[in-house]
Structure 1
Amino acid sequence: MIQLLNLIQNEQMKIYRRLRTWILGLLLIVIVVLAGLVSHPGADDGNDQWKVRATETIEHNKKELENVELPEKFKQQMKEEIALQQYMLDHNYPPTDNTLWGGALRASGMIILVTLFTVIIAGDMVAGEFTWGTIKLLLIRPASRAKILCSKYITTLLFAATLLILLFITALIVNGFLYGFQSLGLPHLTVDAKGQVHEGSMLLFTLATYGLKLIELVMIVTLAFMISTVFRSSSLAIGLSIFIMFAGQVIAMLLLRYSWGKYFLFANTDLTPYLEGQPLAEGMTLGFSIVVLIVYFLVFNLLSWEIFRRRDVAA
């Protein structure tokens, strides 16, 4: 275990000694700041404007409920919206969108940048050793190949976690200055089937949102890491990983026209549709997607190990 920790520490030093790593981190912060400034509504949206809109929404929904031809499903949604808006008015809870938490939730969409930056690092983790000719120096150590590969993989995930934390903290700070930190204690509101409004932790809800997107991040990074073990060229490994990352969703949409398309990796990486009860294709469930992801995860890691174990470094 001590040997593995020393290897991880060594890999961490390799990453953070490079100027590229710090540029990626700084770039992430700059993009989060700019995105927060662009999405900020400005002074036109007064503090009490949301109350006017909430009142108008309640009145509009009440009139719509008088329509006897309205499907029961839409009536239930309108009743829940009325209960939610009235609760917000009664307790002076502004909409999440124009608060610190709304900005933090919007920033979760930029996890794709974290994925991209991590893919750049992951694609270079093993292939880079061959590119720079340092693989022989690495393998003459007493540590086994399994530990060396494991340390590189864990270091890659730790780097992804670091960027994710950086994204979250930056988003909180930036949006705190833009919208005010007074909304820090704002609850997350949900409405049950009986129309009762319940308060929950907004922090936990936001972390859960980031956590759900983390699954896709881990899968893509694992794929990029496997590609890095296949190719000796770090530039080729990084380029191919980035291409697969961006083309994956497009390919998934094309393949889902066929029954076997649901087994494609990128048809299962985004689990958020299940929260709304809208799977991408018929026959897909949350449990199904989780099983598919586990299988891919195991296959990627087994291939990485087998390729690295058999790789001839004498050439």
Structure 2
Amino acid sequence: MLFNLIANENMKIYRRFRTWILIGLLVLASLTGTFLSWKYGPDENSDWRQAVQENIKQQQEQAAHYQNDDSVTGKLLRERAENEVLISQYRLDHDIPPPAGSMWENVLDMSSLIVLITIFTVIIAGDSVASEFTWGTIKLLLIRPANRTKILASKFIATLLFSLLLLVLLFVVSALFGGILFGFDDIGTPHLKVVNGAVKEVPMVLHAIGQYGLNCVSLIMYVSMAFMISSVFRSSSLGIGLSVFLLFAGQLLVGLLVGFDFNWAKYLFFANTDLTQYLNGMPLIEGMTMGFSIAVLTVYFAGFLLLSWLAFTKRDIAA
């Protein structure tokens, strides 16, 4: 029964012309971004060793600048500079050029478009429940033998499947088009990161998948929030508009609080959505860990789903 409901919700999503416009916009944005990176990117014939040596000097100066700064921001910037020095020196010692101007750099750069996927999925999520009430189709939906919980779950799962499709599409398009323009010669180049003061090599494909995967967490959280707002207020415009606003305003708020060394900001929803901060061991706020952020997000996620469930299953349809 749940599978049939999910299939029905998928049909509702993909039969709308709006959905294909969103998919087309994502592909166009990926192709355009890749072309611009290839057209105006770094010169392939430039001396990467010289560039790395200059970077080491700059990072050493920055680390020295924050040497006596004991603030959270100062410690974070100093640690980042020191780690960058270690990575750059490792590149020189092991003859590993930076991924600049390569297929993998393009794949990683295009991960910034996940925010676009989040917006597109929020549009679908915000409209999923509220539109049923707006057009009065909720009564037709509820006369089916499936209970409200399964109906709500099918809508949520179908929305997440749509976001998954966009993520896979973005990864594949950016990798293929990036490989065509930049070449596939650097496909085996490793990603370098600092772990416990030592530089470690990680397959670039795993790093890229990890970055996309961690960005999925932020996507799921904002989609869950839009879904909750849509269910509680039964308003597509409020669910979409408020979620998109918080997507951008939340990060600005956290940055402001971190700048004033407010350590309690780590408990905010917005401070924990970006799990990519742990890929290089550089958390936004001192004391934050991957486990901590997952625990905080789990609480918020459960709250969003609970409010969605209560609003959809307990309220009278005529209300």
TM-score (structure 1 length as normaliser)? 0.84
Match of 2:71 in 1: none
- How many residues in Structure 1 have an aligned counterpart in Structure 2? 302
177-186 or 101-110, which moves further after superposition?
177-186
What is the letter of the counterpart of residue 306 of structure 1? L
Residue 303 (structure 1) aligns with: 307
What displacement does 1:78 show?
A: 4.0
Asked if 2 retains the 8 angstrom alpha-carbon contact of 1:119 and 1:220, the reply is yes
CA shift at 1:276, angstroms?
4.3
Residue 129 of structure 1 is matched in structure 2 by 132
1:290 and 1:99, CA in 2 relative to 1: closer, same or farther beyond 3 A? same
How far is the alpha carbon of 1:279 from its aligned partner?
3.4
* 1:15-57 deviation digits (Å, cap 9, x = unpaired): 0000000000000011111111222255871346325545777
- TM-superposed CA distance for 1:288, in Å, is 2.3
C-alpha contact (below 8 Å) 2:215/2:274 kept by paired residues: yes
Q: 1:55 to 1:298 in 2, by over 3 A?
A: closer
- Whether the 8 Å contact between 1:84 and 1:191 is mirrored in structure 2 is no
- The correspondence of residues 211-290 of structure 1 with structure 2, limited to 5 A, is 211-254=213-256, 257=260, 258=262, 260-290=264-294
Asked if the contact 1:123–1:237 (Cα under 8 Å) also holds between the matched residues in 2, the reply is yes
Amino acid paired to 1:285: T
- The answer for the alignment partner of 1:100 in structure 2 is 103
Structure 2 residue matching 1:229: 3-state secondary structure: helix
Letter in 1 for 2:7: Q
Shift of residue 118, structure 1, vs aligned partner: 0.3
**Alpha-carbon contact 2:230-2:236 (below 8 Å) kept:** yes
Note if contact 2:126-2:240 (Cα within 8 Å) is conserved in structure 1: yes
Tell me the distance in 2 between the aligned counterparts of 1:243 and 1:136: 31
Q: Which amino acid in 2 is paired with 1:7?
A: L
- Cα deviation, 1:124-176, whole Å, max 9, x if unaligned, reads 01001111110000000000000000000101110111111111111101211
Residue 192 of structure 1: CA displacement?
6.6
- 1:292 aligned residue: 296
Q: Contact conserved, 1:119 with 1:224, CA < 8 A, in 2?
A: yes
Which has the higher mean CA deviation after the structures are superposed, 115-124 or 251-260?
251-260
**1:82 aligned to 89, 95, 99, which one?**
89
Given that 1:108 and 1:210 are in contact with CA atoms closer than 8 Å, whether structure 2 keeps it comes out as yes
CA distance in 2 between counterparts of 1:259 and 1:53 reads 37
Query: 2:197 & 2:235 partners in 1: Cα distance?
Result: 60
Q: Which residue does 1:164 correspond to in 2?
A: 167
- Pair 1:179–1:213, CA change in 2 (3 A): same
Contact 1:29 1:167 in 2 (8 A): yes
Unaligned 5+ segments in structure 1 are none
Q: Is the 8 A contact 2:91 2:97 kept in 1?
A: no
* Structure 2 counterpart of 1:205, one-letter code: H
Look up the match of 1:186: 189
Structure 2: distance between partners of 1:118 and 1:106? 20
User: Match for 2:16: what amino acid?
Assistant: R
> Does the CA-based 8 Å contact 2:225-2:304 persist in structure 1?
yes
- Report the secondary structure of 2:146's partner residue: coil
Pairwise CA distance, 1:104:
0.3
1:210-258 residue CA offsets vs partner (Å, 9 max, x unmatched): 1111111111111011111012232232222222222222233345554
Structure 1 segment 53-68 matched on structure 2, within 5 A: 53-54=51-52
**Maintained 8 Å contact 2:130/2:231:** yes
CA distance in structure 2 between the partners assigned to 1:57 and 1:119 by the alignment: 39
Cα deviation for residue 184 of structure 1 reads: 2.1
Answer whether contact 1:12 1:155 (CA < 8 A) is retained: yes
Say which is worse superposed, 167-176 or 18-27, in terms of deviation.
167-176
CA contact (8 A) 1:36 1:175 kept: yes
Say which SS state the counterpart of residue 185 (structure 1) adopts: coil
Aligned residue for 2:223, secondary structure, equals helix
More deviation, 228-237/142-151: 228-237
Amino acid at match of 1:39: S
Q: What is the percentage of aligned positions where both structures have the same residue?
A: 51
Whether 1:151 aligns to 2:154 is yes
The TM-score with structure 2 as length reference comes to 0.83
Aligned equivalent of 2:118, options 115, 120, 123: 115
- Give 1:266 shift: 0.6
The answer to whether the 8 A contact 1:187-1:202 is kept is yes
Q: Report the CA distance shift for 1:9/1:192 in structure 2 as closer, same or farther (over 3 A).
A: closer
